[in-house]
Amino acid sequence: MKATRGVLFLLALGAAFFAVNGSSSKPKPESPVDIYQRSWEKKALGQQRALEANLPLKDSTFLHSHNTYNASAYTTAFSYIDPNHNFSVGDQLRLDMRAIEFDVHWYFSMEGWPWEWGNRPLLCHGQSNHVGCSTYDRHLSKGVAELNSFIRANRSEVVILYIEEHLDGNYQAALNVLKSAFGDLVYRPTTTCQDAPVNVTRQQVLNAGKNIILWSGSCGTGEWQNWVYVKNNAVPESNVSKFTSYPDCGSAAMGADAYANKMVRFYEDRTNLTAWFGGGSGKTTTANIPEMLKCGVNLPGYDMVSPNDGRLAAAVFSWAPGEPNDYGSNEDCVMQYSNGRWNDANCNNRYRFACVNAAGQWRVSNAAGVHSDGAAVCSNETAGAYQYAVPKNGQQNQRLVEAKRAANVGDVWVRLNDRATEGRWVE
């Protein structure tokens, strides 16, 4: 009986412990990146990408993560001790980075058993002669696996992978890693040594059943040339310190031809090494990101991207904060406020209309009307030269703001609605 009582006492004690402390299967708290997936910024940025689907890449925006692989998520005593980022490659993709960067070096790796050691394509933040690389840096395949996992779960997205290659001629070894993971999803060049495809649209890439565009800084050798575009001629770049606000747009670093015909990149570098010895790269901020979008910067670069730093919200040129909200379940049409931000409104409200011509020039109609009147009004007032339209990127949005200012108009209708299906915005 005493033994039985002892067993019962221990069982009761165990039950009390679990009642107070919970079981070992207690749900793991959500990370900031998990929480971001439900945010207004996430939804708005996704809707902006949808608007851009049929624009050429030179007119599209790809939020860009600089040195994506160099993150404190991978820091050890021997590797990535001066990171550009905190979050992993996969998490940065979940934070709406759609252009990522891997520096790939052919360097000695001590991963695995000693008999497995040897030169491998490693993700290394080093110089062209490999100074700064570590034998404990991660294999290219690990970064590639994170991109592969993301893109397989998000087949409506297009991601640019920029490979800064320091491969000492070992292009095939690196290419084999890429092909084995997502070769079926790569949008490939049609000729060798082809410049980045700036006139292709996201939708054309998706229609081809592809999701990933590869580019690097040189032609490479062998089969690499049939898989990887060359970025240099088509993607002019500078650090953020050279950028100036709209309308100058960093003209000393980027001329009008670059903005009109190429994909413009401005990047930052927040590593200590750059701060100490590089003179500083400037920083991407909540103030200059909207200016970049007005200018037509295609690849605004982020270091230390975070769901809580405000710079993702700063990349929303369209919706006003908290919009669209379908207030009163009766707001299905989109208008632009005087400040350029958008609101969903009752389709029977009366405003003037946003109109654009084939040259990309915007005007505001003379007449006002309900949302559905826009196509007829824009066409009739200009003998068909202008069409009812919605701005599809930050630069177009700014040009409409300027057209309104010239006409002394505040609010206008733009050609976007979700009357057919709530939350599905169509022209």
Q: Tell me, letter by letter, the H, E, C secondary structure of 252-317.
A: CCCCHHHHHHCCCEEECCCCHHHHHHCCCCCCCCCCHHHHHHHHCCCEEEECCCCCCCCCCHHHCC
CB of 324 closer than 8 Å to CB of 334: yes
User: Cβ neighbours of residue 120 under 8 Å, at least 6 residues apart?
Assistant: 106, 107, 108, 109, 111, 139, 140, 173
Cα–Cα distance, 167 to 186 (Å, whole number):
21
Q: What are the pLDDT digits (tens) for 325-361?
A: 999 999 999 999 999 999 999 999 999 999 999 999 9
Instruction: Give the count of beta carbons closer than 10 Å to the beta carbon of residue 192.
Output: 14
Strand 118-123 to 342-345 pairing: unpaired
Residue of 413, 227, 392, 256 whose CA lies nearest to 331: 413
Q: Which helix (H) or strand (E) holds 366?
A: strand 362-369
Q: Up-side HSE of residue 201: CA atoms within 13 Å toward CB?
A: 10
The CATH number assigned to the domain with range 32-315 reads: 3.20.20.190
CB of 230 closer than 8 Å to CB of 196: yes
Give the distance, in angstroms, between the CA of residue 65 and the centroid of all CA atoms in the same chain. 8
Pull the structure tokens for residue 113.
């058993």
Please give the pLDDT value at position 25: 61
353, β-bridge pairs: 413
Q: Which residues of the chain have pLDDT under 70?
A: 1-25, 277-280
Cα–Cα distance, 34 to 31 (Å, whole number):
5
Cα–Cα distance, 340 to 319 (Å, whole number):
9
* 365 phi/psi in degrees, rounded to 5: -60, 155
- Where do the domains of the chain lie? 32-315, 327-417
Residue 364 backbone class (left: φ over 0; alpha: ψ -120 to 50; beta: rest): beta
